[in-house]
Each structure stands twice: as C-alpha cells, then as structure tokens.
Amino acid sequence: MLSTLITVLAIIFYTAGIIHALHAILYAKTSKSAIAWALVLIQFPFLTIPLYWILGRYRFQDYITIRREGKTSLRAVTGSALQKLAPFRVHSSRFPFREYHLPESLIGLPLTRGNELALLQNGRETYEAMFQAIDNARSYILLEFFIIRADQTGNTLRRKLMAKAQEGIRVHFLYDEIGSYTLPGNYLEELRAAGVRIEKFGAAKWGNPFQINFRNHRKLLIVDGEYASLGGINIGDEYSGNRSGFQPWRDTNIGIRGPAVQCLQITFIEDWYWAAREVPQLSWTPPAAAPHSSHLLPLPTGPADRQPLCCYSLLRLFNAAREKLWISTPYFVPDDALCAALKLAAIRGVDVRIILPQQADHLLVYLSSFHFLEDMLDAGVKFYRYQPGFIHQKVILVDNTVAAVGSVNLDNRSVYLDFELTALAIDKRFAGQVQEMLEADLGLSRQLSPGEYEDRSIWFKLAVAIARLLDPIQ
C-alpha cells in the first residue's frame, strides 16, 4: 500500500515537473534560464516546483492587473497632470542631447526643464534636507522606502511625521514589507494613531504568496508636490554613519524642486494604488521653473513594465557615451547585454570606470561580481575597490553631460525584479558636481589589476562559480 502511494506521488510530481518545464521553456526570460529551469524541474520536481513558483516569475502580473482595474481613476489624475506639464516638456526632436533620451511613449513620463537640483553626497546632507522639507510641509507628505529602521534616524522621522499629522498635514507612508521586516509593530501603530496613513508594499498583499521575489526598492520623499528627494538612502542610522559595521557608509541622493516633482508624484500614486486601492488627493499644479533650467527625466522601472525599461535605459546611456562612462554601484552582476555594452564602450575608446565596494555586505553578490572582472578588464574596463567603509551609491556619469542618481544596482534583481527609481539629469553643471564627487571617490579607491582574479585559489573560484549560479534571474 505504501509503495503504491509513493509510486503515485512520484508520478504526480514528475508529471507536474514536466508541465512546469514546458512552462519555463515557453515563458522564461532567456534560453539559458529556460534550459536551467527545465532540467532541474524534470530531475528534482519535489524541491524545484515551489522554487519555480516564487523565483521563476519576472513579470509582476498582480500589480499590472490592479493598475488596470484602477485605469479610470488613475488615468484621470495622471492625464490631467501630464497636460499641466506641457509648458515644461522638452521634446526630443528639438533636444540637443537626444541620444541620451528614451521615447516618452516608452517611459510614460516627460523630460522636463526648469528643475533645481541638489547633489546630496551623504546621509547627513540627505536627512537634513529631508527633515527640513518635512518641517516646512504645508499640505501633504509622501514617503516610499525600502528599509525603515526603528533606530535614532527612524525615530526622528517618526516624531516629525506624527507632529505634522497632528497639525493636519496629510501623510502617506508606503514601506516594503520584506525590506522593512525588522520594523516593530508599535512603530507603525504610533504613526497610525497620530493620523499617518500607512500601507505596506507586499508582493503577496492581495493573496498570492508566490510573488515575494518582487520588491519595492524605491526611496522617495515628496512634499507638497514641490520638493522631492530620491536615491540610494533608506531610513536608518547606518546611512549617516551612526551605526557600527560598514562605516563610514558612502551614499548619494538627489534633491529636486520643479516640474519633475509632479512626475514623481505619478510614480508614487501608482504604487500607493497597488497597496491601498485608492488615489490620494494631491496638488497637480507644477511649481514655477527654477532660475537655472536643469533638464530632468524620472525613470521609474520595475517588473510591471511593458518592456524591460531599466535594461533599455542603461543600454541607452552606455551606448551613447563617447568620452566617459563612470559608474558607482555596490552590486555588479549584470546580464549579457549590459556586459557587452560596457565592453564595447571601452573598446571604442570610452573611459569606462566602475567603482565597487572593498567590503561585502551580501556575500553571494560580492562573489558573483568576480565572474565578470577578468573578461571586462581585458576589454579595457577599469575597476576600482572603494577602501573606506562601504559604498552603496548608485550613480552614473556620461560625458560630463548626463548624470543618473537613483536606487538601481547593476545586478539582475534591480534591472528586472525590483521596482526602482532613477533621476536622469541632463545638465552639464550638475554633471560637473557628480564628476567632482566621483573623482574624490576614485581617490579613495584601489584600481584592480588584470591578474588579481587569476591569482586566487581554486576554492575561491569555485565559490564564485557557485554564487553566479545562484543569481536570482538569468
């Protein structure tokens, strides 16, 4: 009897494995991913079928469905907002740097002029600007963060939000359930009791437990539709150097005033609608253009995009570079297309420099990065290891003309699985500030030599190979 039951279960599982393997062949992102999933699903269905349900997805279908359900209410608000932005729109056909610009039809948001930009080069500068903006709020505050900690920085934020809510200022607070898994319930309850509207961005929020591989990795503050801050900085003591461990912590944000803030509000209300099924009442009157007209394009990307917008945006920047392409990223596990674009840029004579951390906060990702170094160094790409503390910033500089500051890491999770947000500034003055910042970072970094990986032990190389196989998406 027992042997018969085992045989029946084995037949069921192996049949299910074959069915799932066929699904992977039909819908996997790449042929390599399809082959890998098909092999393990057929050979080890007991273990890999549940993993496939969680890790085999690269489109966040529930987010797409719920956004479609809110099409009428969302479109009414966003359509009106985009119409009001018409005087500030920069049309690519008349733009002198259009080789850096993606079509508005693909992004859904316009490139705008008249923005005032501030480069916030560390946590202290970022929090000072954020808290001052919160203190000065007159109507509403919107927050969206991947990580919120109940430490000194997080408690300062909580007190300020509670005080503003009690003044009658509307506060909408969205946090990622996985990124903020350590956040205690009493932290949130005190905010709710003070009148703060709080929602969690949980991929399984609406009953689907097999979407936890998707995260909202955005870090965004908006105040009164006039000021915004975004970048790599979450809410926690480590970002301002007040926590033991990877110190000093090196990170960067960008402060924005001007019409582009209205575009960022569109991004926020789409995420808020996913979590709360409602569209908050906001101001959709663009602020006056700043005296110095900086062009800015917000790039919200994620697994609900019709096309892989994050990958396309990076490829556009890499391929447009003619003289200089400097990148600072904490995690470097790019796909084949991004690798090829970086190598081709170096081969055609572009000065390609990539700053990585010396220390590792995620061991698998750190090890995986070594898989790419030898081949890219051979093509002329220069790598640097930042020596003091941990460098977490996500910054790209192209030709002293374009600078991107945001939350996107150069790994497959950021590019394909996470909701990310980048500010693409097309402004030589701002790009010059970014260049000075990166030059200082390079001065604190050690350039890697071509033979460094070859000199490693066979055990280290084996660990690199295994870590590469465990990358979340191929």
Enumerate the active-site residues.
217, 219, 224, 392, 394, 399
Q: Which CA distances in Å does 103 have to 109, 310, 313?
A: 9, 13, 10
* Cβ-count burial 425-440 (b if 16+ within 10 Å, e if not): bbbeebbebbbebbee
Q: Which CA distances in Å does 472 have to 28, 54, 413, 438?
A: 13, 10, 7, 29
Beta-ladder partners of 350? none
Q: Which CA distances in Å does 136 have to 45, 141, 220, 264?
A: 57, 10, 17, 19
Helix axes of 71-84 and 61-69: crossing angle, nearest 10 degrees: 80
CB 147 within 8 A of CB 123: no
Q: Which CA distances in Å does 204 have to 61, 63, 213, 254?
A: 11, 10, 10, 31
Helix axes of 336-347 and 309-320: crossing angle, nearest 10 degrees: 10
Peptide bond into 248 cis (omega under 30): yes
State the pairing for strand pair 395-398/294-301: unpaired
Q: Which CA distances in Å does 140 have to 148, 175, 290?
A: 20, 17, 22
Beta-ladder partners of 199? 174
Beta-ladder partners of 449? none
Q: Distance between CA 239 and CA 178 in Å, rounded? A: 19
**Cβ-based neighbour number of residue 34 at 10 Å:** 18
CB 355 within 8 A of CB 381: no
Residues 18, 23, 28: CA angle, nearest 5 degrees: 125
Residue where the block lists tokens 């990124």: 179
State the pairing for strand pair 197-201/220-223: unpaired
Taking alpha carbons only, the member of 171, 211, 267 closest to residue 61 is 211
Distance of CA 410 to the CA centre of its chain: 10
| DSSP sequence for 39-79 | HHHHH-HHHHHHHHHHHS--S-HHHHHHHHHTHHHHHHHHH
